[in-house]
Chain A
Amino acid sequence: MTRLELALLVAAVAAANIFSGCARHADASSAAPRPGAVSRDAGTDQGPTAPAPPDLASAVHTAVSWLSALRQHDRTTLLKQSSAPFVIRDESGKGPCSNVELTDLAKPDSLGCLADDEILRGVLKENPDPDVGPLSAKHLPNWTRKWKADVRPGLRPLGVVLLGHAASFDLVILVGGDGVHGVFKHAAADRN
């Protein structure tokens, strides 16, 4: 999604929210919480419920920035923009980076298998301005549905396709209010 498309989408969503808000302004649950904020069920007061996912614009910004750190092999920034728990899933099921679950990111090489993936980094360099956009948490892309439990409440899944000469990747990036919480990846074999 380009910046212009993103701006138009955000404006359209904002307009839609305005109109829907007019129609149901008496519904207190329609008040949007801040990204990453913990909401409380006012009706039952049963304690904290799921945090709200970040809004689309800030989620896309976070994902693009995270991909940039990955492209530049900038482990420090990559870790700063990531948050635990963190998952890495690969559709192939092969390799050291195919099925990783991290409960903390304290070690400097926590995301080493991602950061050191030279093929992925090469394709990222071929895609300096990746087009990242929204997915539905309820209807994930077909190959990621087995990992639906990883898309915890409060995370917003975003999709991006990276086409390269030697390889291509489909990525689903899980973004929360406090950073990226995971990535699903698939090495694609696109025609031409």
Chain B
Amino acid sequence: MGAAPWNPKLDAYIAAGARSIPTVSAEVREALDLIGKRMKPAEDGQALQLLALRRYLRLGPKRVQAQWSWSADQAAVLVRQGAAKVLVDEAAKVQSTFARANPGYVLALSPLRSLERQVRLWNGNSSVQRAATDLRARFLEDVNDPDDYPNPPTGESIAVFNYTLRVSIVKPEPTSAAPGTSDHGQMRAVDFVVMRSSGALVAGTKSSSIASVWKQGGWEAKLMAATAGTQLVGPLQHPYEPWHWRLTRA
């Protein structure tokens, strides 16, 4: 992914689209701002912002608000109560069962994932980068049309931009949640990784390890067996992540 020149007109539409999302406009703008600030020289920040905006628009303001990552202050309080505490307790049961069934191996848990951390994962994810670059290239062609996309944007052209972005298909489907919306931001889900008791990683959270390590190594089935009888459901199906489990839907 090469860093493409920043397009000011597309920038104006991304900013206008972010401002137009009711209720969560401030959160969305903070995330987009962080995406731009945390990008590495080889990353296309504008494309990554556009793809993230698409996701926020698809989810809609209610879901974005409900899923938005806890701040550090919120996390300090909320992680020890309610559903987050139940999740941690259930994950501890899985760890214990797994360790008994697989001597020499343990399960480690993913920690709460801050917005900052989600931005780094988003920017660094190769499927996100490929999808974002393709999406940006297509939208640049569209927004160059001054009839449909005047500059500065109007109420009507912003709506057209938002709905077109919302129903656009991206390929590949990103394997990372848009910053702020991860299940891990409110401890709604946990990622298990398999490690040797010595601390060496055996099965991690890279998509490339699913077939060769999780399936062929039998870790997918062993983790599934360890979750039996707990309140955890999984693994995540879209995209498939054998390590990603969440609480039973209430």
Contact = CB atoms under 8 A, between A and B. Distances in A.
Contacts, number: 89
B159 interface: yes
B173 A191 contact: yes
A170 B163 contact: no
B173 A135 contact: no
Nearest to A172: B167
B63 to A, nearest CB: 8
Contact of A189 (B147, B154, B238): B238
A141 B155 contact: no
Interface residues of A, number: 35
A91 B171 CA distance: 14
A141 B175 contact: no
Contacts of B29: none
Interface of B: 22, 58-60, 63, 138, 141-142, 145, 147-148, 154-156, 159-160, 162-164, 166-169, 173-177, 181, 183, 236, 238-239
Given A8-B155, A138-B145, A163 B164 contact: no
A133 B20 CA distance: 13
Nearest to B135: A142
B147 A138 contact: yes
Nearest to A17: B156
Contacts of A131: 60
B163 A134 contact: yes
Contact of A161 (B141, B166, B239): B166
A67 to B, nearest CB: 14
Contacts of B142: 136, 139
Nearest to A137: B148
